[in-house]
Structure 1
Amino acid sequence: MQRYNRHKLTIWIAGAILIILLSIIYRKFNPLDSSLFPKCPFLMLTGLKCPGCGSQRALHYLLNFQIVEAFKVNAFMVVSLPFLLLLTFLSLTYHRSSRLLKWRDRLYGKRSIYIILAIIINFWIFRNILSF
């Protein structure tokens, strides 16, 4: 049991260090101006934006407190961050009340997955229609 806890703690520490390092890199370097960051293969092949296009720049802008600029490059990512944080919180909460479990089941349920997929597909289509 102690070996399991030590292993789990090591993974958490490594994950935290990785997140901190990536945050520093994304805050300091703008993906638009740097060759450090990968370009979107879908955009390069088709000329169309995928739902994730602009996410790296949006993250850069968010880390530099430029929320309007982040929203301009990928509104979906900016709007979905609170939802992702809520999902993370619900997944990591050890002592869940019945109320938290109920919300977790709703947000991880089949209906939610279909709704999220529909939102992503609509965002994908409309962002390309509006960019022409």
Structure 2
Amino acid sequence: MKKTVGVILKRIGRDIRQYKWAGAAFLIYYIVVKAVFHAFCPLLILTGLPCPGCGTTRALIYIFRGQFGRAWQLNPCAFLMVLFGVYFVYMRYVKGKKVKYAMEILAAAAALMLLVYIYRMVTEFPGYPPMTFRRDNILNRIFPFYNDFLRHLFGI
């Protein structure tokens, strides 16, 4: 058992070392963007419109807290991400094998997320978070008529 845990930790450590600069860049982006714009999503910051992934981080937190209904309201696709994450961790770190069909699974999940997003934009937007409009977006700062245009287009 001790040897198995050591092997798993070595595999995790190897990946951390390999992807440390990507992780550092992501962390810097997160800190800077949150400090400047008080949001994380680039689409939301730029256009004021939610993206297909909006609400996913909060949904994942709710899943791990056992608040599944709230997670479903924020982004139902978060459950797919948890399932894929468990599969990925098991195959890559526990079994030490290549994660088969990872790109195909992620592409299918992305397509489903896009379909859910379109449905939610038609039925819920503008509504409750995360399907809300952010009025202090960058495009409105550049083009003062932008928010008025969207108000006429979407009724927001």
TM-score (norm 2): 0.47
CA contact (8 A) 1:49 1:127 kept: no
Distance 1:109 1:47, change over 3 A: closer
Amino acid in structure 1 at the alignment position of 2:59 = A
How far 1:70 sits from its partner (Å)? Answer: 1.1
Q: How far is 1:61 from its partner?
A: 1.9
Q: Partner residue of 1:108?
A: 102
| Conservation of the 8 A alpha-carbon contact between 2:52 and 2:113 | yes
Instruction: Specify whether residues 61 and 108 from structure 1 end up closer, same or farther in structure 2 by C-alpha distance, changes over 3 A only.
Output: closer
Partner of 1:47: 48
Runs (5+) with no aligned partner, structure 1: 16-34
* 1:91-126 alpha-carbon deviations (Å, 9 max, x no partner): 2212x6xxxx7xx43x2365x454333223222322
Report the alpha carbon displacement of residue 128 of structure 1 after superposing the two structures with TM. 1.6
Count of aligned positions: 98
CA RMSD between the two structures: 3.5
| Larger relative contact order (CA 8 Å, sep ≥ 6) | 2
1:55 CA displacement: 1.8
1:48–1:128 Cα contact (<8 Å) kept? no
Percent identity between matched residues is 26
How far the C-alpha of 1:73 sits from its partner, in A, is 0.7
**Alpha-carbon distance in structure 2 between the residues aligned to 1:47 and 1:11:** 37
Q: What SS class does the counterpart of residue 49 from structure 2 fall into?
A: coil
Question: What residue is the counterpart of 2:90 in the other structure?
Answer: 89
* Residue matched to 2:122: 129
- Whose Rg is larger? 2
